Amino acid sequence: MTNDLIFQLALRLVPNIGAVHAKILIELYGSAGEVFRARKSDLDKIEGIGMVRAKSIKDFNDFSRAEEEIDFIEKYKIRPLFLTDPDYPRRFLNCYDPPTLLFYKGKADLNAARTIGIVGTRNNTDYGKQVTEKLIKDLASQNVIIISGLAFGIDSIAHKASIKNDIPTVGALGHGLDTIYPTENEGLARDMIKHGGGLITEFFSKTKPDKHNFPQRNRIVAGLCDATIIVETNLKGGSMITADLANGYNRDVFAIPGRITDSKSSGSNYLILNNKAILLTDAQELIDIMGWEARKPKTKKQKELFIELLPQEKLIIEMLQEKDNIHIDEIHLRSGLSNSSVAAAILNLELQGVIVSLPGKIYKLN
């Protein structure tokens, strides 16, 4: 374990090797250790790696920094989650640039069935606070995990409301786990862990909360979630970056509408107007769109032979004709459809008696 972890940490430290490059290498070699043991002549032939990156790997010798991080991990009971770890957040594996290595402290299941991101401005209005608190209160019965960025404003409100309603909540950080930023949220961070949530970051200890780190933090929020809700935001800011990232990952994005005269809702209204987010006014709309409370038919329907199918429904049927049964994660991965599109298609196919659900979110033809 320690030897594997040294190489995993070292791979994150190699200059010129980013998340996309690491993914390519791990897919080819299977482990970080094998990447370092590979010959330079083989590495530089890999598409996307080339001579410069191959040289960076072979010249790397700062393993002492990796060993230092292992000491920190062990001392503070941090869970390192590498790409190949069975507990690594599976939703990231559908992204083109999954974090190579994550550092996690907490108890919340990062592979829970329902994860929702809630983000917004640091300078929220009373309206934004009320909407966030009511939304989370109304989601308490849905067995969700709430993800946010532990910033002032909407993020902090979302974390606090989650704790109040016994919902596990995870904070994504733009720095190492040896500090909390802003420092005023240190108590909140402890409460999040105490109440079954957690803290997660890509960054090594001693990494300061520099401004350029926070887009990466936003990427973690977008990648961990089935859907992201933008409560209040200006036209520029971290929440807009998160929305763009979530759309790029083919995840559902929702936005709370606000007054056209309120600058703090200008970003949310822009996302809705330009079809980059679904207008959201309450939790039930989210539940319906995500297909979390699929209504079952009162009487079992016999499969119709000549029913009209939408393109996304035909795509799912074709997958099920290839295999006896298929997990919903595989449907998401192979179809390229958003979570809400898959949920709506599956619900319609179930209601028409074409497919049936099995335990563990597995589906088969009826």
Q: What pLDDT, on the 0 to 100 scale, is given for residue 332?
A: 80
Q: What is the mean pLDDT of residues 137-148?
A: 97
pLDDT band at 364 (very low <50, low <70, confident <90, very high): confident
Q: Which domains occur in the chain, in start order?
A: 2-105 (1.10.150.20), 107-290 (3.40.50.450), 311-365 (1.10.10.10)
The residue type at 287: I
Mean pLDDT of the chain: 91
Tell which wins on pLDDT, 300 or 342: 342
Per-residue pLDDT tens over the stretch 56-111: 999 999 999 999 999 999 999 999 999 999 999 999 998 999 999 999 999 999 99
Percent of the residues in the chain that have a pLDDT greater than 70, as a whole number: 95
Per-residue pLDDT tens over the stretch 155-183: 999 999 999 999 999 999 999 999 999 99
pLDDT band at 39 (very low <50, low <70, confident <90, very high): very high
What is the three-class DSSP state of 119?
strand
Give the residue from 84, 80, 85 showing the smallest Cα distance to 102: 80
Look up tokens 């409301």; give the residue. Answer: 161
* pTM, two decimal places: 0.80
CA 49 to CA 42: how far, in whole Å? 10
Residue 201 near residue 105, CB atoms below 8 Å: no
| pLDDT at residue 293 greater than cutoff 80 | no
32 CB burial (10 A radius; 0-12, 13-18, 19+): buried
| Sequence-ordered list of residues with C-beta below 8 angstroms from that of 66, at least 6 positions apart, any chain | 5, 6, 7, 9, 10, 13
Task: For the chain, list the strands marked E by DSSP.
Answer: 79-82, 101-106, 115-119, 145-148, 169-172, 198-201, 227-230, 252-255, 278-279, 326-327, 355-358, 362-365
CA 200 to CA 119: how far, in whole Å? 16
| Sequence-ordered list of residues with C-beta below 8 angstroms from that of 25, at least 6 positions apart, any chain | 11, 17, 35, 46, 49
Taking the CA atoms of 308, 313, 315 and 316 in sequence, report the sign of the dihedral they define: negative
